[in-house]
Amino acid sequence: AQSVTQPDARVTVSEGASLQLRCKYSYSGTPYLFWYVQYPRQGLQLLLKYYSGDPVVQGVNGFEAEFSKSNSSFHLRKASVHWSDSAVYFCALRTGGYKVVFGSGTRLLVSP
Amino acid sequence: DMKVTQMPRYLIKRMGENVLLECGQDMSHETMYWYRQDPGLGLQLIYISYDVDSNSEGDIPKGYRVSRKKREHFSLILDSAKTNQTSVYFCASSEGAGAEQFFGPGTRLTVL
């Protein structure tokens, strides 16, 4: 069965530090992968997506993610976080058709 | 302006009452979704709609039904709400099967 695992429920980093949020997926075919961000009391917003090609994809606000087929991973990175990046981040997988499977989310807290 | 709206934003109901959650989008997207979000569980898919009167069950359809009579409008109905349906409900739309989803701000439903 298809699944997405975000092993870190909470991550705390200092402002200005680098960030990596981990995402592992389970799917035997070619995945379509997404990272979404959710700010308090709001819906999810797309950060970036990967369909094919260059395994490193750029997103909004300085975020990027790297796809690894061998590791079944799609980790999110940012070189220098800002306090406004505090939010919940979801990794998502589209396996075929219209269904999208979401991970359980990682809550990021950026400390001053 | 690409937007998904949800009404109401907050709702309190008693067990056994009927609930109607409404969702609209202004992008003429064919595909629309209803999810619920519970702490630590990410988003769980309730129903997908591929177009007017073309709906399909998601992963947790029990206790819910949907209605889509116009492309821009998608309703979630709870007949005789239960306390375990207390959750935050999100509507989303997308242009096609592999495209990103646009999310509404959510409806926080409490069933007493």
- Given the DSSP bridges, would you call strands A106-111 and A10-14 parallel, antiparallel or unpaired? parallel
DSSP state letters, A5-65: E---SEEEEETTS-EEE--EEE-SSPPEEEEEEE-TTS-EEEEEEE-SSSSEEE-GGG-EE
Quote the pLDDT of residue A97: 75
- Mean pLDDT of each 10-residue bin along chain A, 112 residues long: 93 97 93 94 93 93 96 97 96 86 95 90
Look at B103 and A104 and tell me if their CB atoms are within 8 Å.
no
> What are the φ and ψ backbone dihedral angles of B63, each rounded to 5 degrees?
90, 0
Interchain CB contacts (distance < 8 Å): A and B: 48
pLDDT tens-place string over residues B86-97: 999 999 999 876
Is residue B72 packed enough to be buried (19+ CB in 10 Å), middle (13-18) or exposed (0-12)? middle
Residue B103: how many other CB atoms lie within 10 Å: 22
Look at A43 and B48 and tell me if their CB atoms are within 8 Å.
no
The mean pLDDT of chain B is: 94
Percent of chain B with pLDDT over 90: 88
- CB contacts under 8 A, A 62-81 vs B, are none
Considering only CB atoms, which chain B residues are within 8 Å of A99? 45, 48, 58
pLDDT tens-place string over residues A60-74: 999 999 999 999 999
B24 bridge partner residues: B5, B73
Shortest alpha-carbon distance between residue B83 and chain A (Å): 22
DSSP state letters, chain B: ---EEEE-SEEEE-TT--EEEEEEESS--SEEEEEEEETTTEEEEEEEEEETTEEEE-S--TT-EEEEEETTEEEEEESS--GGG-EEEEEEEESSTTSPEEE---EEEEE-
Question: With 80 as the cut, is the pLDDT of residue B65 above it?
Answer: yes
pLDDT tens-place string over residues B16-58: 999 999 999 999 999 999 999 998 788 999 999 999 999 999 9
Quote the pLDDT of residue B96: 77
Place B81 in a pLDDT band, splitting at 50, 70 and 90.
very high
8 Å CB contact between B103 and A44: yes
A88 touches chain B (CB under 8 A): no
Considering only CB atoms, which chain A residues are within 8 Å of B103? 36, 43-45
Average pLDDT over residues B1-10: 92
Q: Which of B37, B43, B89 to mutate to test the interface with A (most CBs of A within 10 A)?
A: B43
Domains of chain A with CATH codes: 3-111 (2.60.40.10)
Quote the pLDDT of residue A69: 93
Q: Which of B41, B45, B100 sits opposite A99 (nearest CB)?
A: B45
Look at A105 and B4 and tell me if their CB atoms are within 8 Å.
no
Quote the pLDDT of residue A60: 94
Question: With 80 as the cut, is the pLDDT of residue B98 above it?
Answer: no
Q: Which of A94, A97, A104 sits opposite B41 (nearest CB)?
A: A104
Quote the pLDDT of residue A29: 84
Question: With 80 as the cut, is the pLDDT of residue B110 above it?
Answer: yes
Question: With 90 as the cut, is the pLDDT of residue B11 above it?
Answer: yes
Domains of chain B with CATH codes: 4-106 (2.60.40.10)
